[in-house]
Every structure is written in C-alpha cells, then in structure tokens.
Amino acid sequence: MAGVTVVKIKEDDDGIRLNRWFLREYPSLSLSHLQKLLRTKQIKVDGKRAETSTRLLKGQELRLPPLDEQKAQKKENFIKKDDALLIQNMVIYEDNDIIILNKPSGLAVQGGTNQSKHIDGLLDALKSDGQERPKLTHRIDKDTSGILVLGKNRKSTLALTEAFRTHKIKKTYLALCAGCAKSNEGQIKAPLEKIGEKMVVVEDGQKAVTNYRILDNIGQKFCLVEAEPLTGRTHQIRVHLAHIGLPIVGDTKYGRREDAKKANLSLKLHLHSYKIDLSDVLNKKTVVKAKIPDYFMADIKSLGFNFKEK
C-alpha cells in the first residue's frame, strides 16, 4: 500500500506497550486517533491486528499508515546553548548504560507549576548520535543537590527504576543541621503521611526508615550528618532529621529560616545526595560521589567543621 511505513522493533523497545511507543515517536497523535487507526486495522504488528496494550517484541514489524503530519511535529526539544552546557557540565559519570548527574539545588527534576526549566526538559542535550534520549530512573527534590541517575537504554533504565523502587540501591546524603543529636548514630523509624503540603510523622503512616551518623558537631549549635534512607518517602530525610531535633539548614518547610540567618549561612537547602553504590544493579563495581556545592562547602568551612571531601 502506498505510503505505508514498516518499522522493525529494536532491542531497546522489547516489551514496550504499543501506546507508549506511539506517545514517544508520535507525541502529537491523540489516543483517540490511535485507537481509530487500530480499530480500522491501519496499524498492524507482524501483519496482525493490535491494541493499545499490545506489547512490542524485538524483531517484530510494525506497519503504519501515512503519519507525515504527526511525524513532522515530532521534534527534539529546542534547548538553548547555555542550558545544554548547563546539563552537560552536570555529568560526573558515564558508561554504556548510565549517566550520572550532579544536580544543583533549585533545579527541578521534572516540570510542574511554575517550572519552565527542569532536568527532564534538558535531556536531549545528553543524547548521543543514533542513541535514544536518556531517561530518568528516580527523582530527588528540587532543592536537594547531588546524584541523579539516568538510563541510556531500555534494559538499564528498567533495572535501575526497579532497584530504586524497591530500595535496593545504597544512597548516602550529607546534611548540615541545626542542633546536636543525643546519639552520634542511630536509626529513625517514623512513619510518614502527606497532610496538606507537608509530610508529617503519624503512627499509622507509611513505613519510613533512615540511618544517620554525626560526622562532626560545633557544640550544640550545628552538626554535619550522614544519612542513608532505607525507604523512599517524599522529603523523608528532611522530616526525619527535624523529627529528632536536627532540622536541616535552609529547609523552610521543615526547619527554621533563622538558623541560617543568625550564623550568616546560605539560605539554600543544605542537603546533598553525596554518594551512590550501583555495583549490585550493574554487576560491576560502580560507586560514584558528587562534589558538594560551593555554598554548602563554604558554610562547612566557615563553621569550622573537621570535614574534607575525599
């Protein structure tokens, strides 16, 4: 048939749902239009009728009717040169499967209300020739800095996404906190629930567990904390440290703005995703550290902490 296009499914798309494939390849094609094309048998997989839920397999042939208009509208995001350099300069590790970024505080991972610039919108700037666009495998808060892992192919993306979802990846955070804990290390078990715009500790909330260790302290005024979340609740480390009397400096949602002001510290959130161990997921030793932000490091030094990046 004239105008018919035949696409062979690649290994990276093995197992993807047909509707998700179209959402990526033809983003301007509406779901209702797609369903009509399927219903009238204008789209077939290996010569057979398909549905939106059909899972595509490597090597299958997808037959498509003329979709020139929709194809023409499938354009890579236009990224300004400065923004492309911004995300390219965040890369601290890359191999055939993953890219690891050191995300700055204040930049959101995904779009939302009043979020015109975000990591997800800049990922085309990291795409290699002939390769798929890197994909997010997890999230960190907008105001938290540090490690963010991207998948470069379907296999690694699925493996990492599942590992993050099931909390099988060891992540270590560094936090500058106001106050000083009674114990130099411990485990915080405090269930969390979202009430309004905040996460709060409630007895019957979702399970949330965080290990912590005090690296150094300045009397009873400030301490430097290493935190390892064993679960992945929203704002978990921020809420848990505040719960034991150690609000993070710069945390206006769960802490006190005056803690930073009185000590002449930066008003930014002092929470940094510092280290990650992906060895078990990638089946090779992969431990990556992200450089601490300048404002964070300057405040560590100004307060007189005994801490050096290794």
**Whole-model pTM above 0.75?**
yes
What is the spatial distance between Cα 76 and Cα 64, in angstroms, rounded to a whole number? 21
What proportion of the chain, given as a percentage, has pLDDT over 70?
A: 93
Of 189 and 153, more confident: 189
Buried b (16+ CB within 10 A) or exposed e, 12-43: bbeebebbebbeebbeebeeeebeebbeeeeb
The DSSP bridge pattern shows strands 185-189 and 209-218 to be antiparallel
Mean pLDDT of 109-116: 74
Mean pLDDT of 19-23: 82
The answer to whether 256 and 235 have CB atoms below 8 angstroms apart is no
CATH number of 170-303: 3.30.2350.10
- Residue 283: CB atoms within 10 A of its CB come to 9
- Which one of 13, 97, 141, 259 is the catalytic residue? 141
Please report the DSSP string for 172-221 in residue order. EEEEEEES--SSSEEEEE--EEEETTEEEE-TTSB--EEEEEEEEEETTT
Q: Round the average pLDDT of the chain to a whole number and report it.
A: 90
Mean pLDDT of 213-239: 95
Mean pLDDT of 199-205: 95
Domain ranges of the chain: 5-72, 81-165, 170-303
pLDDT of 65 reads 87
pLDDT of 69 reads 53
pLDDT of 74 reads 46
Q: Which amino acid is at 123?
A: L
Per-residue DSSP letter, 93: E
One fold for 81-165 and 170-303? yes
pLDDT of 73 reads 45
What is the spatial distance between Cα 68 and Cα 89, in angstroms, rounded to a whole number? 36
What proportion of the chain, given as a percentage, has pLDDT over 90?
A: 65
pLDDT tier for residue 217 given thresholds of 50, 70 and 90: very high
CATH number of 81-165: 3.30.2350.10
Give the fold, CATH level 3, of 5-72.
3.10.290
Task: Give yes or no: 124 in active site.
Answer: no
